[in-house]
Amino acid sequence: MQDIISCLQSIATPQLIAHVIVIMVIANLMLGGCAYLILLERKVAAWTQDRIGPNRVNFSFGLVSLKSKHFGLGQALVDGVKLLVKEDYDPPQVDKILFYLAPVFAVGTALVGWAIIPWGGLMQWGDQTLVIAAADINIGIIYPLAIGSLAVYGVVVGGYASTNKYSFLGALRATAQMLSYEIPMSLCVLIIILMSGTPRAEDIAVLQAAGGLHHSWNILFQPLLAVIFFTCVLAECNRAPFDLAESEQELVGGYHTEYSSMKWALFFLGEYMHMITGSAMFALLFLGGWDLLPFLGALPAVGGIGLVLLKFAIFAGKVFFLLFVMMWIRWSLPRFRFDQLMRLAWRSLIPMTLILLLASGVIVYLRLSPWYFLLANIAVFVGGLFVGPLLPQGPPVNRRVPLAGSRFSPLVEVAAKG
Amino acid sequence: MIVLAQQVASHPLSPMQPLLFYVFAALTVGSAWAIVLSQNIIRMAVYLLTTLAGVAAIYFMLNAEFLAAIQLIVYAGGTLILIVFGVMLTSKNPFMQLVTSPLERALGLFIAASVAVMAMVALLNSPVPGGAAAPAAPAGHDHVARIGRALLSDYLVPFELAAVLLLVVMVAAAYMARRTQR
């Protein structure tokens, strides 16, 4: 007994307790938040399409009678219960092992991906400095990339195991999409590591929050890179306009066509958690993490519990705003065609990030002012505008097939001539 | 508190660590076993993925975090390609069962046995005495900078050669995948 107590005492350092508290708080916030993000998504869709959206379910649940509808906030809970009690049906032809493994990949990777996000910055505890993150890994922002490369397996394995041609097409599309968009995303992270001089998440946030003209939010120095990174995050999360793996108008539901009940819900939980992680990564890399305003250096890097809570609120606000932008984009833009998707990655994003990487390397080597990054971004953007039309065009798509009865019917031309 | 922290730092094997090691080792070995026994090429690829992920988890436990991340990025990405190949090469029916002949079975057994003997000999002759656990890298080490410096100084020639090789492969792939002129 004595041994166990002394052993526990030696393990339970303040840093470990901080990690455990962060994990418990953030994991629960994310799981609860996902249910309400789905409600928000439906509300945003409704506002975009000039509808009202779900507004009926309040917190009475038929048990007590309440006058107020509470803006339909009970909907998320009711949806959760519905998914839990719905019949869990396995189609007879599926590959059982992989069919059950796929939602595990989808949620398992989503649950560990956000480990390095420094939600609350640094905290002073006695004479120690605690990192308010789920884990303090010294490879920092490389870690979410590693987890992200595993996340695609939920879609691929699920689509394959369903033994359904629509699911299978969705899985193959997801494979090509993830392989393509991982490259510019990694290059973006590499450029940020290069200009910060460290891969550690907390140090990157501190550097952007330092204040002054030479330390500010990276989006001000690298606006083009920020746009590219956000595009890649959308593609990696399988969000519209890049949701070709599920595209319900062409592939029924794509990879999750055969899934129902809680297994289906796990895919969606995974998708929304990846959205949160992606937004948090963007906020960390480009929006200064927990920093309040650029240039000011308003918040000190290390502080007490009050400062940690304030920083967490600012960080969560930025993440929430980015999530809203993602939904906004989803309901405003139509889906890409597959060849457009591939061409966007291979012919514009990857060359532009490669040139930016080269330029950033030169700027870092010569120790120039960070505003040269902005110059490089503008140069690459303008250069792209001029060079783009000169590049060889792809094969013609949307060919006009002269088919009787179609818009390009040969009979009509004959009739017009005659 | 500082004393306690120093104790933990000097004694990196907390009681959780052997337990976690056995969990991840069981995952690695179990899924490797499943690759051998499975007859479906896509299932094999997925089991290979869990094997690689288990090895990556053990790297994480040894504080070799950069190595673990690269293991996940490179090898997990490689498994994705393997799945695509598995689908493409068995394009008639991706759900095909692979059946091994007795000769293949004997050959495989022979190769596996020789590799096992080689590994045992290497292990028994290794400098780590008595098969004790290899020392973990000290936590908080700046692995990325050290690996980068080593690659661009001591190992510059192999590094550049690998880069040139990859470039050649990429040019060749682009050449083979080019649109044929009609």
Domain membership flag for residue A191:
yes
Per CB-CB distance under 8 Å, the chain A contacts of B43 are: 95, 97-98
Range of the domain at A358: 77-390
Does B53 touch chain A if contact means CB atoms closer than 8 Å?
yes
Sheet of A302-303, strands arranged across = A128-131, A122-125, A302-303
Question: Residue A368 pLDDT more than 90?
Answer: no
Mean pLDDT of A78-104: 85
Average pLDDT over chain B, rounded to an integer = 77
pLDDT at A353: 93
Per CB-CB distance under 8 Å, the chain A contacts of B69 are: 139, 142-143, 145-146
pLDDT at A80: 83
DSSP 3-state assignment of A284?
A: helix
Q: Give A244-265 pLDDT, tens digit per residue.
A: 777 777 777 778 888 888 888 8
Question: Residue A395 pLDDT more than 80?
Answer: no
Domain membership flag for residue A330:
yes
pLDDT at A53: 79
Q: What are phi and psi of A216, to 5 degrees?
A: -145, -175
pLDDT at B168: 94
pLDDT at B131: 46
| Residue B95 pLDDT grade (very low, low, confident, very high; cuts 50, 70, 90) | low
Q: How far apart are CA B175 and CA B171, in angstroms?
A: 6
- Tell me the C-alpha to C-alpha distance, in Å, between residue B78 and each of A24, A149, B31, B49: 34, 10, 17, 9
Q: Tell me which range, A275-289, A297-311, B35-49, is most confidently predicted by mean pLDDT.
A: A275-289
3-state helix, strand, coil in chain A (%, to 5): 65, 0, 35
Q: Which of B11, B49, B73 sits opposite A146 (nearest CB)?
A: B73
Question: Residue B106 pLDDT more than 70?
Answer: yes
Domain membership flag for residue A204:
yes
pLDDT at A413: 63
| Partner-chain contact A175 B80, CB within 8 Å | yes
Q: How many domains does chain A have?
A: 1
Question: Residue B118 pLDDT more than 80?
Answer: yes
The answer to whether A281 and A378 have CB atoms below 8 angstroms apart is: no
pLDDT at B161: 93
DSSP 3-state assignment of B40?
A: strand
| Contact residues for A107 (Cβ-Cβ < 8 A; gap 6+) | A154, A266, A269, A270, A273
Domain membership flag for residue A98:
yes
pLDDT at A198: 83
Domain membership flag for residue A20:
no
Q: Which of B4, B65, B73 sits opposite A9 (nearest CB)?
A: B4
pLDDT at B160: 92
ipTM of model: 0.75
CATH class for the region spanning B1-94: mainly alpha
Among A160-164, A362-366, A380-384, the least confident range:
A160-164
Domain ranges across chain B: 1-94, 140-182
Q: Which of A297 and A385 is assigned the larger pLDDT?
A: A385
Mean pLDDT of A47-70: 78
Mean pLDDT of A70-85: 82
Q: How far apart are CA B49 and CA B30, in angstroms?
A: 12
Q: Give A152-192 pLDDT, tens digit per residue.
A: 888 888 888 888 888 888 888 888 888 888 889 999 999 99
Average pLDDT over chain A, rounded to an integer = 83
Domain membership flag for residue A144:
yes
Question: Residue B111 pLDDT more than 90?
Answer: yes
Question: Residue B165 pLDDT more than 90?
Answer: yes
Domain membership flag for residue A247:
yes
